[in-house]
Amino acid sequence: MSKRKPRRGGGLNAAHTRTLKQRVKTARGRKSSSTQWLQRQLNDPYVAAARRDGYRSRAAYKLAEIDDKFHILKPGARVVDLGAAPGGWTQIAVERTARADGGSPMAGSSPVAGSSHVVGIDLLPVDPIPGATCVQLDFRDETAPAALKTMLDGPADVVLSDMAASATGHKPTDHLRIMALCELALDFALDVLKPGGSFLAKVLQGGAERELMATLKRAFHQVRHVKPKASRSDSAEMYVLATGFKGTAVHKEAKP
């Protein structure tokens, strides 16, 4: 039986959410915070949907919802997913950019050498994803942009980043750390995007820093903040979406 995939309409319907709430007893030796996390996972409809639909993380639905609304993942597009592990966003990118003419393999098929238009990059190894090229690489390395363009056979149409530093529990520190990752991702995007391209990255509620927003507005025609329904309501995470990259003419002066 084939697995159901949210090609378009990535949100969950009522059938997805009609599950009995499960309670987890606090086991001896387990912290109450760990018990609360486990209980939240067991009762999260997106976690259940990801298991059912074959996605590697609930985060897949965040990208699906954003793309349903803004249509940044077009058939045949070249996409790079920064911090790809475990691969949920890469899976969505493959599905949404797959072309019927064989230019990019459909999800579930065997990737053809040199034909992938989706590249997932992470410091950690990522298990192979049909239709994508997954590489263990530090995107901050000065050779990474050229290597990526070779893998994509050209500049990228979309750069994605769902990266987040480990939370410290200190909100100002966590905000600075995630914004630093966003700035690094943008710096990379300005090196690899083609004119008209898009950049999507995680930030924290309260918006992007003034300097980062100024850079985005210089480099792209439109910049907005978005928070998909799949982001937990108690989470401060949201995303900055920049579309219509103005190209290399503004490249140097736009870089943060």
- Specify the CATH number for the domain of residue 247: 3.40.50.150
Question: Residue 145 domain-assigned?
Answer: yes
Does the active-site annotation cover 217?
A: no
pLDDT at 44: 67
From first to last of the 256 residues of the chain, give the pLDDT tens digit: 444 455 566 666 544 544 445 554 555 555 554 444 444 545 568 888 889 999 999 999 999 999 999 999 999 999 999 999 999 999 999 999 986 554 444 344 443 333 458 999 999 999 999 999 999 999 989 999 999 989 998 999 999 999 987 777 777 787 788 888 999 999 999 999 999 999 999 988 766 678 899 999 999 999 999 999 988 777 778 999 999 999 965 555 555 5
CA–CA gap between residue 165 and residue 209 (Å, rounded): 17
In three state form, how does the secondary structure of 44-58 look?
CHHHHHHHHHCCCCC
CA–CA gap between residue 35 and residue 187 (Å, rounded): 39
Kindly tell me the sign of the dihedral angle through the C-alpha atoms of 130, 231, 78, 80.
negative
Question: Residue 141 domain-assigned?
Answer: yes
Cα dihedral 137, 131, 202, 19, rounded to 10, equals: -130
Sheet with 193-204, edge to edge strand ranges:
133-136, 118-122, 79-82, 156-161, 193-204, 237-245, 220-226
Q: What are the backbone angles phi and psi of residue 210, rounded to the nearest 5°?
A: -55, -45
Pick from 47, 114, 125: nearest CA to 84 = 125
- Domain of 186 in residue numbering reads as 57-254
Question: Residue 65 domain-assigned?
Answer: yes
Question: Residue 192 domain-assigned?
Answer: yes
pLDDT at 68: 97
CA–CA gap between residue 119 and residue 187 (Å, rounded): 18
Question: Residue 49 domain-assigned?
Answer: no
Q: Which residue has the tokens 């072309």?
A: 99
Options 31, 202, 217, 227, the catalytic residue = 202
Q: What are the backbone angles phi and psi of residue 197, rounded to the nearest 5°?
A: -70, 175
What is the number of domains present in the chain? 1
Question: Residue 39 domain-assigned?
Answer: no
Cα dist. 16→3, 25, 46, 169 in Å?
15, 25, 8, 31
Question: Residue 79 domain-assigned?
Answer: yes
pLDDT at 4: 47
Question: Residue 150 domain-assigned?
Answer: yes
